[in-house]
Amino acid sequence: MMLEPAQCAGDAPRTAPEQGTPEESSSAVTPGTPRTAYPTTDPEQATRLPAPAPDARRRSERDQWLRRRRLERQLHDGAALRISALTLQLGLFRHRVPDAEPDLHASIESLQDELHAVLQELRDVAGKIYPPLLDEAGLGPALREAADRIETPLRIDAPADRFGPAAEGAAYFAIIECLAAIDAAACEPVTQKPGAQEPEAHETATGPVEVLVRRDTDEQDGGVLAVELTGVDVRHAEPMLDQVRRLGGTIDVAGGPGSGTITARIPCE
């Protein structure tokens, strides 16, 4: 569900749904229909285009991640910068308005506050397209920053290595979606033990989720980005699979449904 903002933010939308669907059985209709609809009037004669080879599918999935990263940069260098510059111009304007106009001063200030709110929303969207910190500093810093917004306590162990924008993007959103699912599940039942009274007691009961990022070497490829989540309900692995399989990745689960380990492996380019 985190993917949606990217699909409505720019040039991604037309291709993104097509990327997702070919996996399913109904998929081949989607790419085939628009092209063949015009030359022939007989629906019987529609030619179904062959499904792309796995390699081609993976390549276009990587392109999607590059496109998402470009979109984030475009927001930063374009709209965001313009709006920031606008706040400076308003500041200059306010400075030129005589002090005898306090109402005007207040109006200009509230306009500036409004622009700050607009920028906060843009930052939020940018973070869902491709977190700038992920682009600039990698999985470790991006996950630590995201830990701020997640209730479940995390322990993150990530190397400074980089794994490429596609593998990092898929891993990041897979982890975030899994943690969001854990957060949501933790909010639902209030089946606290009788002894627990503090909110933190709940967390100690859950225990921190350990996030371990490492590079698994693979002989054929450049390497595999492996992410291990320990201390999680393995039922939350399902949404992660969607993220990683499009890049040819895999998910392994171990341990019981209560507290187990989810390991995602994503080949790097």
Partner 1 sequence: MRVALAEDGALFREGLLMLLQAAGHEVVGCTADGDALVELLASQPADVAILDIRMPPEPDGGLVTAERLRAAHPDMGLLFLSHYAESHYLMRILRIGTDSIGYRLKEKVGSVDVLTDTLDRIGSGEIVIEPVLAKRLVERPRGDKKGVVATLSERELDVLRLMAEGRSNNGIAAQLFVTPKAVEKHIANIFGKLNLHADTAEHHRRVLAVLTYLRSQRDGD
Residues that bind partner 1 (CB under 8 A): 76-77, 80-85, 87-92, 94-96, 109, 112, 115-116, 119, 123, 132-133, 135-137, 140-141, 144-145, 147-149, 153-157, 198-200, 203, 208
Q: Cβ distance 35 to 22 under 8 Å?
A: no
* Residue 99: both structure tokens together: 């002090």
Looking at beta carbons only, is 27 or 206 nearer to partner 1? Answer: 206
Q: Which residues pair with 261 in a beta bridge?
A: 230, 254
Q: How far is the CB of 154 from partner 1 (least distance, A)?
A: 7
Q: How far is the CB of 254 from partner 1 (least distance, A)?
A: 23
Strands 209-216, 154-157: parallel, antiparallel or unpaired by DSSP?
parallel
Q: How far is the CB of 5 from partner 1 (least distance, A)?
A: 17
* Residue 100: both structure tokens together: 């005898």
**DSSP code of residue 23:** G
Q: How far is the CB of 73 from partner 1 (least distance, A)?
A: 9
Cα distance between residue 158 and residue 124, in whole Å: 24
What is the phi/psi pair of residue 129, to 5°? -80, -60
Looking at beta carbons only, is 133 or 175 nearer to partner 1? Answer: 133
Q: How far is the CB of 147 from partner 1 (least distance, A)?
A: 6
Q: How far is the CB of 36 from partner 1 (least distance, A)?
A: 45
Q: Please report, as a single letter, which amino acid is at residue 13.
A: P
Looking at beta carbons only, is 49 or 79 nearer to partner 1? Answer: 79
Q: At what angle do helices 165-187 and 237-245 cross, to 10 degrees?
A: 160
* Residue 245: both structure tokens together: 């399989």
Looking at beta carbons only, is 3 or 115 nearer to partner 1? Answer: 115
Q: How far is CA 20 from the centre of its chain?
A: 15
Looking at beta carbons only, is 213 or 251 nearer to partner 1? Answer: 213
Looking at beta carbons only, is 51 or 137 nearer to partner 1? Answer: 137
* Residue 124: both structure tokens together: 């939020």
Looking at beta carbons only, is 200 or 218 nearer to partner 1? Answer: 200
102 CB-near residues (< 8 Å, 6+ apart)? none
Q: How far is the CB of 126 from partner 1 (least distance, A)?
A: 9
In terms of Cα–Cα distance, which of 137, 152, 158, 145 is closest to 207?
152
